[in-house]
Structure 1
Amino acid sequence: MRSENVPNGNFWAVLKSRGEPCRILQTETLWGQTFCRVWLPVEGIVVRVRAEELVPLEEHTSSLGAHHLAYVAAAARIEEALAQGVLLAPLSASVIPLPHQIYALSRAVSSDRIRYLLADEVGLGKTIEAGLIMQELKLRGLVRRTLVVAPKGLVRQWVSEMRLHFNEDFQLVLPEDLSALRRLSGGNPWKHVDQAVVPMDSVKPLEKRRGWGAAQVAAYNRERFEDLISAGWDLIIVDEAHRLGGSTDEVARFKLGQGLAAAAPYLLLLSATPHQGKTDSFHRLLSLLDPEAFPDRESVTRERVRKYVIRTEKRQAVDLEGKPLFKPRQTRLLPISWGERHREQRLLYEAVTEYVRQGYNQALKEKKNYLGFLMILMQRLVTSSTRAIRTALERRLEILSAPPEGFPLFPVASVEEWAELDGEEQMDLLLASRLQALKNERAEVKTLLEAARRTEAAGPDAKAEALLELIYRLQQEEADPELKILVFTEFVPTQEMLRDFLQERGFSVVCLNGSMDLEERQKVQEAFAREAQILISTDAGGEGVNLQFCHVVVNYDIPWNPMRLEQRIGRVDRIGQKKTVRAINFVLEGTVEHRVQEVLQEKLAVILQEFGVDKTADVLDSAEAEKIFDKLYLDALMEPEKLEDRVSSLLKSLREQAQVMRESASLLEGEKAFDPARISQLIDPRIEYWTETMTVAYLKAHGQAKREGRTWSLVWPDGEKQENVVFTAKEAEVTPSATYLALKDPRVSRLMAQLSPFFPGQPIPVMRLADLPEEVRGFWSLWKIAVCTADKSWRKQRVIPLFLHDDGRTFLPAAQRIWDRLLSGEPQEPEEYLKGPEAAKAFNRLREIAEKQGHAVYEELLRAHQDFLNREREKGMYTFSARRQAVMQLGLPAVRSHRLAKLEEEEKEWLRKLEKKADVVPEMVPLLVVRVVGGLD
């Protein structure tokens, strides 16, 4: 633009270097050169440019070519789809979501605040739901950094499932990794990882630790806890989140929960058993999601809770065809007798049991929990296998024979910590710790060890022989010589013995245990899926493993808590299991374990049937339950004549607790089963096509895009190149080494964010669409209608198409059809451009029509804002009322008056902020205006 033609102040032009409109704010001439300060609406910035870089708006048509029109039409279509609740994640995930998982995703992302408790019953795929929500937020450009906090046994599962189902790489960060991360980051190590999984107890804050001073505790907390929560996360996911509720609001896990809750705007808490009959703990858990909504126990009502909880019960869950997801299972106890050839094994069992009986009595008298733990372990080991008890006795003798300072102290401080370890972890911890010896224990252990070695030399264990017979019988019953069988044991020595025993007899065997890393575990699972007949797993090895292609489970030794048994069977009794699951539980006849199982199993089954496995799981899946069952078995050992009474008492207590759980579960009830028919309304495959159209059209206008077979070669405006690009998940699956480009890519999502408005005075393209009827003649336009609060904290928007016929009528179906037409096929260049008064007149008329047609949409957005405001007001008023009542309970008048005055100030400040949220600003922004002519020329 020549300097003498540059207008001074509030005129529109086009900046040639960017190809986008700008508003001229000020013009000045200095030493013969003219400069303009211009405002760029897309970036929202003011820059100073030479006058020669500006082109009059009405003369600039190159930015309104075919590719630009296709880009704007596609970007606007995606924006409208997202505003209407269309979901993106199911298209890009490699897993096909089930109806209840789609429901969870839809409900979560439709909320103003994505902070939820995902409380589906066991086995319904909460990990998949959380992954879908994470993916959706990433695709919408709302999340970049995600932290997953899970119990130690589940962290590898999270890494594996995020990679398998969502192609997302998460880094497992263990305590020993932090030093290396700190060196790499040069500061806060957590900022160096954008997607991390951490064990829950490795990052909880410490109050104190034996042998540590205050400085050491502070340094530990800074690295593990404080740096973690200050690392700038967008989304935090906590698995088994009920553990954060704690027994009081002072425990370390609850403090961890409070820190995590404040560390990210988006929070997902996962738990199948969130209530556990403890209202205090449940209240603390809910307060992490929204402390204002749950200021006290009385706030935990069904009406309030349902807004924050997403829950599906197994009986409601259906597949995509509307059929029930789960089949009945067959479970049976298989008693195994000792033959004459197993005499040495039976004598060993009796000798170890007597050692346990005496040792446990002594531990009780001296009040030494850790020795009690050792005796419990020894009893379980001797029923597992001869090799397991022999290995344990060797390690115990080594400790008893070594100097006291040769081994560390027993590190477990609580029953809860002990209960969370599996059998192998308990064995490793106990037999590597310095525990005080029992009376005459060294001599007794030596005698037992000699007996164990004799027993091993005498031949295979009775249970090993029974397993071999069972495998042959199952192969015949199932008419499948390649039948796959999952065998569970608590202990690695037993696992190794069974592997050797079965391999020597020609079976293909693989093993899983807690010592294996993620890659090793994946290889084992793949081998079992392909060629291996038998997988032998410990409890830790089986955590997080999904084996739906197998339907037979043998529990070679039975954990004392029946919930652990349920978790084992759950490895195969999962979504996707096509056969009836068969579970066979081994027990040696004449043992304490057999006596307990005979009395317990049938009666427990009645309770499981009455209340359902999942309600009963709420009671059994706890440290308290571990302690109760340990005591039951030991009581059976000490006083066998009282076993019936003890079991009856335990089951009575269990029934009462299950009843409490059934009643409290009503708090969690949400909407009824999700209608599978609604899926088609929420998942629109065209999103991927529109993303491709938007990206390719933009690059053809501002960079380069060239199709090469099934893929694209792209060059972005900054010169960055991308080869072998596809835009659909299906293409990515079948195209080796292809780059799948979706909305979660920052460059792609930015294309929607940088949409430039259509400005008054711009030329209007004239498009001839031959496939439309000849009578279609008029102006088609796109308008973004939005409502946002003055403080920008809340915003909702819609995009509407309008078609104004030359005869003055408006047609909604025609507007939608033209939008579809502009997005189909190769973009078509305009025939010409309307300019000057004719274009201005058309634009002004369109704006009038848009204001009328868009009023209903504006009212809809206002209602959504009013609903949001009502929720915020109700929540705040309840919170201040609850806090005021608490203050009124204070006895000292002076303290009460001070607290009330302070509370009143807080309430006034809250009301001021709420008033700002009540002030809304409407927007109506033109995105595109086109003159449309139907028929052939």
Structure 2
Amino acid sequence: MEHKVDRVNDDANDAYRTGSWAFSQEHREPVRILESQTIWNHTSYLVWRPSVEAVAWITADQLSPVDQPRAKSFENLLYRVAAARVVEGLAEDVLLAPLEAGVIPLPHQLVALSKAMSGDKVRYLFADEVGLGKTIEAGLVIRELKLRGLVKRVLVVAPKGLVTQWVQEMRTHFHEDFQMLSPSDFSAYRHLVGDDNIWRRYDQVVCPVDSVKPLEKRRGWNRERIEKHNQERIGDLIAAGWDLIIVDEAHRLGGSSDTVARYKLGKALADAAPYLLLLSATPHQGKTESFHRLMSLLDQDAFPDIGSIKHENVAPFVVRTEKRNAINDRGEALFMPRVTRLVPVQWQDKHQLQKELYEAVTEYVRQGYNQAMRENRQYLGFLMILMQRLVTSSTRAIASALQRRQLILQSTTVTEDDLNEDSGDLFDSDSQEQMEELLASRIAGLHNEREEVKLLLEAAKRCQAQGTDARAETLLDLLYKTQKEENDPELKFLIFTEFVPTQQMLAELLTTHGFKTVCLNGSLDLESRQRVQKEFSKEARILVSTDAGGEGLNLQFAHVVINYDLPWNPMRIEQRIGRVDRIGQKHVVKAFNLIFADSVELRVHEVLEAKLKTIHAEFGVDKTGDVLDSAESGADFEKVFARAIVNPDDIEQNVDKLIMQVRERAEYEQSGKSLYDHSPLDALLASKYVNHPMPYWIERMATSYLQAEGGKVEKKLFAYDLTWPDGEQMDDICFFGREAQDKGLNHISLENPKLRTLIERLPRTIAGEPISKVKIKGLSSQIHGYWSLWKIALRSHEETQWGSGGGHVRILPLFRNSDGRTFLPTARTIWESLLQADTKVEETGTIDGSASSEVFDQLTADAEKHGENLFRELHTKHQEGLHHEREKGRYAFHVRRQALNRIGLPEVRQFRIKKLDEEEQAWTAALQQREHVFPELQPICILFVEAFDG
């Protein structure tokens, strides 16, 4: 439509008719004329800008004919050539995150990333066995999604003991900063954000799972207080607008039913973000109902009932690698062998006082525990058992605890069971945490307990005055002996203890004997932990750590672990050894477990080890951790030890019951593995990304664009100083992630909005535009013709803007020789040549006017012919996706309708069925709308190419 008021510029209007193309000098791109108007001698045009799929008004003096000879800089052509290569790489599923991560991913980690990125939505369960780096896999997914511009806000929900590890690994390996948040600390943040939703303040957050699970009730709390508590935790958390949510140890969310707090939390998290990653080494555990609830978090329609838990449904959502199948990039087994040895601590005559203290505390524990259980005082029973572990650890540890217990018993303000709601599952905590919580709870004492504690404390003080503990002397002998056997005077040792007082004692003892020693425990912040680890990797020879301090450590440079005192949960021992038995370990791992000779604990360990070895042989594994899960099995093992202390005569019977449960769990977990795919790994997969050219393509694209569009590119020795056309300056820029990390430069990637714009707004060539003529050195002398690049896309009416590529876009290179024949391989050869920095290219002029238009028409016909198969592939993939969605939805509606038909009340049944019908109709209509697609064929650039004859 044309508006002509006081028309005086007929020539201009004739030049730019509705539907024709012109060149916008303002936007530096071809535009299509939609409408013109001349008012008071001023002509303007409404034009369509294809690069941004938007319209704009432009004055006549800002337009020029597309066929007007206009030098298109060679840098502009190189920008198009490189940008198209980046888009093709993304369309061919080239992964970006491995190219810049601080760690070179292993084959199984790349498989996880590749599968996660293979669909339109990232909603997967990563179920690799313990120690295979699921955190690394999740970090790769985070980076990949951010690099592709798909996510900004990320939430990680993990067990309390793992949150620090998440923050540390994301920073170390991926340069991603996560804020550790827990609602219990919110009062400290209020002065920063007032009463606003604190979760919104940070784009990347890690929080402990139990700090945000909904609370049903709590003693002394009314409904209003509970609702406020839940709103600040789960309510505000869900409302914070996350793009990606990751749940570590996700099997815990399955719960025993769909009413437990952790499952409710899982359901809320699953609905709160489009992208969801669940991490668990043992997701099935033989509990199909719980596993079904877990899988339904990923896709409610795919798993509407327990009958949907079968291989063909589950496998597409799960990535699992077993340790025995894991390999490195050379195809070698990923883990070194391990040697574990029990080291009995012998009582000598000089240790008589310590032995008497041990026996006295054991009797105190036995009597106190039995009385506490008779009186139904569970927490006091926990405290009694804790005293046994303390006396086993060290004289200082039991003395410290007895002193604190004595102060409580002397107080007049002791209370009964003054523990918070989340403390019921104390076996999930490590021993130091148990001690702090139980001793802080001020639990009232038993009859005569004050007198007993007083006598025991006096005995402990006499032991301390006498000298070094028997266990500590055994440790020193072991250090010297192992150092001699290894023939390494600088051999490093990782020593674990359950308690901080024991840690302090060991640090003093070892330092006195000339060992440079550092310590880690749960009280250290992230910066302090990193400093200690660095010291241990360099000058320090011994690291003494508690269980809480050891969480998240990667200490492959050491290979000797000494468990100074043994947790009763064997998975905690596995986790300790796992600090050095990790990917990258180059030595046989040695683990020494110290334990008192002639003790109840030793008898239980011996019986357990013998019976667990039978299970290991039966299931073809070599580590307890391969058949056990800490969360599910730990409490059962600790209870066996507790029962043995209280009733030593029933050890065999109690252990046999436990072993039956372990075997049953292992069998269930083995049967659950049939639900997953187990494809062999390709060692070459990792090496593919070591020298992948994608960062170079991005560098070529960015620098060519800036040189073409008025920016500045200053090349330095290892970096660039870049100035963008809008004036923004970026200094010390490097396009290669690992090189930037090594040299302390500023890394830039497709995560940067400016770089993303360069591929999202690929320029297009218009019929009649001048075609540049070039000669390229190194080509065959027979090459003489037109080379072009075309974007082929599958579009739908509901989409308004295409992104950078992916499943719906392909790039087609074409070469039409002067004799009219089309050669596709030659087209790709020319493309690769243009991308090479050392390729010599000479510009020899342009083809203009009608000749240019004629060539454009011929090449368009070629592109339509050769691009049709590419479009058919896109269309077929789109249809397959719709078919899968349709089948999944129909099954889900069928299951829901069956459930509604079982409702007894006719009125309620009919009402709900009517609502379900309406929902199904809306779903069907939305699916049908997605079926309406159409092709797009866009020319990116055209060149006349011939061989360089110089």
Work out whether 1:370 is the aligned partner of 2:379.
yes
Aligned to 1:241: 250
Work out whether 1:865 is the aligned partner of 2:846.
no
Give secondary structure in 2 for the equivalent of 1:79: helix
Aligned to 2:692: 685
Kindly provide the amino acid, as one letter, of the partner of residue 650 in structure 2: K
**What displacement does 1:413 show?**
4.7
Aligned to 1:726: 734
Give secondary structure in 2 for the equivalent of 1:222: helix
Work out whether 1:497 is the aligned partner of 2:510.
no
1:381-436 per-position Cα deviation (integer Å, ceiling 9, x unaligned): 110100000000011111111231699922255543x1221110110011111212
Give secondary structure in 2 for the equivalent of 1:431: helix
User: Partners of 2:816 and 2:191 in 1: how far apart?
Assistant: 64
**What displacement does 1:585 show?**
0.8
User: Partners of 1:302 and 1:368 in 2: how far apart?
Assistant: 47
Aligned to 1:150: 158
Conservation of the 8 A alpha-carbon contact between 1:512 and 1:538: yes
1:742 aligns with one of 746, 749, 753: 749
Kindly provide the amino acid, as one letter, of the partner of residue 670 in structure 2: R
Aligned to 2:597: 589
Moved more, 540-549 or 828-837: 828-837
1:8-35 per-position Cα deviation (integer Å, ceiling 9, x unaligned): 4222222212211222222222222222
2:202 aligns with one of 177, 186, 193: 193
Aligned to 1:753: 760
Conservation of the 8 A alpha-carbon contact between 2:750 and 2:756: yes
Moved more, 606-615 or 80-89: 606-615
User: Partners of 2:216 and 2:66 in 1: how far apart?
Assistant: 67
1:175-254 maps to which residues of 2 (within 5 A)?
Answer: 175=183, 177-179=185-187, 181=189, 183-185=191-193, 187-254=196-263
**What displacement does 1:177 show?**
4.8
Kindly provide the amino acid, as one letter, of the partner of residue 557 in structure 1: D
Kindly provide the amino acid, as one letter, of the partner of residue 355 in structure 2: R
Conservation of the 8 A alpha-carbon contact between 1:765 and 1:834: yes
**What displacement does 1:528 show?**
0.8
Aligned to 1:763: 770
Work out whether 1:546 is the aligned partner of 2:558.
no
How many residues are matched? 933
**What displacement does 1:123 show?**
0.5
User: Partners of 2:685 and 2:434 in 1: how far apart?
Assistant: 48
Conservation of the 8 A alpha-carbon contact between 1:765 and 1:830: yes
Work out whether 1:360 is the aligned partner of 2:335.
no
> Would the alpha carbon gap of residues 627 and 157 (structure 1) be closer, same or farther in structure 2, given more than 3 Å must change?
closer
User: Partners of 1:858 and 1:101 in 2: how far apart?
Assistant: 32
Moved more, 518-527 or 888-897: 888-897
Moved more, 146-155 or 386-395: 146-155
> Would the alpha carbon gap of residues 482 and 617 (structure 1) be closer, same or farther in structure 2, given more than 3 Å must change?
closer
Aligned to 2:568: 560
**What displacement does 1:790 show?**
3.4
**What displacement does 1:57 show?**
1.6
1:228-251 per-position Cα deviation (integer Å, ceiling 9, x unaligned): 222222221111111111122122
User: Partners of 2:506 and 2:188 in 1: how far apart?
Assistant: 39
Give secondary structure in 1 for the equivalent of 2:98: helix
Aligned to 1:79: 87
User: Partners of 1:913 and 1:357 in 2: how far apart?
Assistant: 67
Aligned to 1:804: 816
Kindly provide the amino acid, as one letter, of the partner of residue 768 in structure 2: G
Work out whether 1:915 is the aligned partner of 2:928.
yes
User: Partners of 1:612 and 1:424 in 2: how far apart?
Assistant: 34
Conservation of the 8 A alpha-carbon contact between 1:65 and 1:830: no
2:148 aligns with one of 112, 126, 140: 140
Conservation of the 8 A alpha-carbon contact between 1:712 and 1:725: yes
Kindly provide the amino acid, as one letter, of the partner of residue 551 in structure 2: E
User: Partners of 1:3 and 1:687 in 2: how far apart?
Assistant: 50
Conservation of the 8 A alpha-carbon contact between 2:183 and 2:232: no
Conservation of the 8 A alpha-carbon contact between 1:552 and 1:581: yes
User: Partners of 2:879 and 2:369 in 1: how far apart?
Assistant: 66
1:354-753 maps to which residues of 2 (within 5 A)?
Answer: 354-404=363-413, 409-413=418-422, 415-416=424-425, 418-611=426-619, 617=625, 620-622=628-630, 625-667=633-675, 669-679=676-686, 685-702=692-709, 703-736=711-744, 738-753=745-760
1:234-285 per-position Cα deviation (integer Å, ceiling 9, x unaligned): 2211111111111221222222212221222211111101112211111111
User: Partners of 2:657 and 2:36 in 1: how far apart?
Assistant: 91
Aligned to 1:791: 798
Give secondary structure in 1 for the equivalent of 2:115: helix
Question: Which sections of structure 2, spanning at least 5 residues, go unmatched?
Answer: 1-7, 801-805
Question: Which sections of structure 1, spanning at least 5 residues, go unmatched?
Answer: none
Aligned to 2:3: none
Work out whether 1:814 is the aligned partner of 2:826.
yes
Kindly provide the amino acid, as one letter, of the partner of residue 921 in structure 1: F
Aligned to 1:106: 114
Kindly provide the amino acid, as one letter, of the partner of residue 262 in structure 2: R
Q: TM-score, normalised by structure 1?
A: 0.96
**What displacement does 1:185 show?**
4.7
Kindly provide the amino acid, as one letter, of the partner of residue 446 in structure 1: K
Kindly provide the amino acid, as one letter, of the partner of residue 509 in structure 1: T
**What displacement does 1:159 show?**
1.1
User: Partners of 1:817 and 1:15 in 2: how far apart?
Assistant: 33
> Would the alpha carbon gap of residues 354 and 917 (structure 1) be closer, same or farther in structure 2, given more than 3 Å must change?
same
1:357-377 per-position Cα deviation (integer Å, ceiling 9, x unaligned): 111111111111111110110
Work out whether 1:161 is the aligned partner of 2:169.
yes
> Would the alpha carbon gap of residues 152 and 638 (structure 1) be closer, same or farther in structure 2, given more than 3 Å must change?
closer
> Would the alpha carbon gap of residues 849 and 325 (structure 1) be closer, same or farther in structure 2, given more than 3 Å must change?
same
> Would the alpha carbon gap of residues 661 and 444 (structure 1) be closer, same or farther in structure 2, given more than 3 Å must change?
same
**What displacement does 1:897 show?**
3.4
> Would the alpha carbon gap of residues 731 and 617 (structure 1) be closer, same or farther in structure 2, given more than 3 Å must change?
closer
Moved more, 239-248 or 459-468: 239-248
Conservation of the 8 A alpha-carbon contact between 2:571 and 2:634: no
1:894-919 per-position Cα deviation (integer Å, ceiling 9, x unaligned): 43333333323322222212211222
User: Partners of 1:448 and 1:595 in 2: how far apart?
Assistant: 25
Kindly provide the amino acid, as one letter, of the partner of residue 135 in structure 1: R
> Would the alpha carbon gap of residues 807 and 177 (structure 1) be closer, same or farther in structure 2, given more than 3 Å must change?
farther
**What displacement does 1:681 show?**
5.6
**What displacement does 1:107 show?**
1.6
Moved more, 608-617 or 270-279: 608-617
**What displacement does 1:683 show?**
6.8
Aligned to 2:335: 326
1:264-275 maps to which residues of 2 (within 5 A)?
Answer: 264-275=273-284
Give secondary structure in 2 for the equivalent of 1:804: strand
Q: Percent identity?
A: 52
User: Partners of 1:834 and 1:742 in 2: how far apart?
Assistant: 36
Kindly provide the amino acid, as one letter, of the partner of residue 265 in structure 1: P
Aligned to 1:36: 45
Work out whether 1:887 is the aligned partner of 2:903.
no
Conservation of the 8 A alpha-carbon contact between 2:557 and 2:585: yes
User: Partners of 1:633 and 1:774 in 2: how far apart?
Assistant: 83
Kindly provide the amino acid, as one letter, of the partner of residue 915 in structure 2: K
Give secondary structure in 1 for the equivalent of 2:808: strand
Give secondary structure in 2 for the equivalent of 1:294: coil
**What displacement does 1:355 show?**
0.9
Conservation of the 8 A alpha-carbon contact between 2:793 and 2:871: yes
**What displacement does 1:222 show?**
2.5
User: Partners of 1:60 and 1:890 in 2: how far apart?
Assistant: 77
User: Partners of 1:575 and 1:679 in 2: how far apart?
Assistant: 15
Conservation of the 8 A alpha-carbon contact between 2:785 and 2:946: yes
